Structures are given as C-alpha cells and as structure tokens.
Amino acid sequence: MNIVFLKQKLTACFVLSYFTNCFMGAPLWGTCDSIIAAVAMKKEVIRKIIPEGIEFTSQDLTPEDEHPVLYMFNKQKIRVFFPWLTRNYYEMIPLIPWVHLTKEPGKNYQMAPILYVSSLMVVIGARILWHLNKVWAKMKVNPPMQDFPKTKYVNETVFRKGIEAIQMNAAADGELGKPPAFPNLQKLSPMLLTDALINAPGPVFYTAVYQVTMNEVQGANVKIEVLNIDGWPDGSFSVPSINNAVLGGFFLNFSWNLYWPKKQKNN
C-alpha cells in the first residue's frame, strides 16, 4: 500500500474522531483501580516543584504551611477515540490537588508535575495530544492491583531508568463499599473531582475537563518510600486508612473522562 495514501487515511480517521468526540463526548476515557495515599507536605517544598503562575487554594485539611498531596498507584484501562481502541497499563502519579492559576483564583484544579507510565505508546500519545509530562517507567506490581479487594494487599515498585523511584505497600482495612459509606472520603473527594491543570514550559498552561465517578472504595493502610522521583523530594510516609483519617489511604475503583486540552496564558 502506498505510504502517502496510508498516512492520508490515518490523518482522516484522526480528524473524523476528533470532531466526532468534540460533539459526542470525551476523546479519552477509562476505568481505573488505584491505591491512593493522601499526605501533607510543606508548601515551601511543593513550591519548588510547581511552576510560577500556580497558587495553592485554601483548605482546612492541613496546617497553613502545608498542603495535601495524593500519591496514586493506578491500573488503567483506557479507550482512545473509539470503544474498541483500548490500552491497559500501570501508572504512578504524585498529584497536587486544589491549586489555581494566579489569574483565576476562583477555579480549582488538580495537577501532576510528572506521571510515571508503563506503556511507551501512552507516553508518546499523552505528550503529543495532551501535553502531559508522562515518562516511561517499569512497574513491578504483586498481586495485580485490580485483585486488591480479594487479596487484601498489594506491593509495587516503580523503576525509572533502572533506578528505584518509589515503593508502595498497602494492606486492606475493612471491606469494599460504596463511597457514601466512607465519611472521611467525602471530605477529601472534592480534591479528586476537579478539572486538570497541565503545565508546559514557559508561561503557557493547558487545562482540560476531567470528570471522575467514584465506584467502589476500600480502606487501606499504606506505606510509601519515595526514593528517586524526578524533581521530587525523597521521604517516607506511613499513611493510616481513610477509615481513621481524612488524609488517609484507600483503594478506589473509578471511571473517568478526559477532554481536549485548552491553552491558557497566565497573564
């Protein structure tokens, strides 16, 4: 087959899918099984990680000089443009929730300065189409993340360029249930339910509508050892179950939709 003809066909398919999803729904959506550990970190430490033009939104979950950070260890199943175009992969995100653009203090976002992903194809696609700072990493997960409600435990080690970046161990606390049965999660969940803020080099940022539906939850005691995350401080965290603390650990199965990013200028 003629290479030029094939390229034209692929381009046409992409353009068609783009306009179809603009009118009919999100171009990227999926389901995720995740261990999430919410911790408090000093603002002065986080400030070194996030670029200028982004500010912390006031919240009452930490002291004034601290801000919540969510370590997310995800098993993703995504669908790109079409329901049959799927991809499964592992992902680790140090998420900074409840931030806003300096020019827009009334709109809260969540942002991830870096995302570790086990699929090189996903890394390339996310960088080109969504401007996300995803990097390829090797994940060792045992047992599979989606089996956590049955096995009651999971261990994960993330490697970047052959070096251990972060370790996580989680043990179940209580049984699987629906989100309303977890009062502390109800206090924390607004930070998980905001749109995404994506930072690019320079004064330009991108924002994207990000819709999350929480399906099932299970408390978890989580231990984390941050060893070598790009641009991130090392440290150890022993996170109690969400059953016992708002800044706690839990297993979450959720569904999500991510829409096309829009360029913003913070001036």
Each residue of 7-33: pLDDT tens digit? 444 444 445 445 544 445 778 889 999
- Which of 124, 126, 154, 149 lies closest to 139, judged by CA? 154
**Nearest of 126, 136, 137 to residue 206 by alpha carbon:** 126
- b or e along 176-206 (b: 16 or more beta carbons within 10 Å of the residue's beta carbon)? eeebeebebbeebeebbebebbbbeeeeebb
The predicted-structure confidence for 27-58, as pLDDT tens digits, reads as follows 888 999 999 999 999 999 999 999 888 999 99
Query: Which letter does DSSP use for residue 152 in this model?
Result: S
Provide, rounded to the nearest whole percent, the portion of the chain with pLDDT above 70: 88
125 confidence band (pLDDT: 50, 70, 90): confident
HEC secondary structure over 48-92: CCCCCCEEECCCCCCCCCEEEEEEEEEEEEEEECCCCCEEEEEEE
DSSP state of 241: B
Q: What is the mean pLDDT of residues 109-129?
A: 92
Cα 69 from Cα 112, distance rounded (Å):
10
pLDDT in tens, 94-111: 999 999 999 899 999 999
Other CB atoms within a 10 A radius of the CB of residue 265 amount to 11
Q: Which pLDDT does position 237 carry in this prediction? A: 97
Q: Where are the domains of the chain?
A: 27-265
Q: What is the largest CA-CA distance in the chain?
A: 63
- Looking at the domain that runs over 27-265, which CATH code has it been given? 2.40.400.10
- Residue 265, phi-psi category: left (phi > 0), alpha (psi -120 to 50), beta (remainder): beta
Rounded distance, CA 195 to CA 209, Å?
A: 5
- Mean pLDDT calculated for residue range 152-173: 97
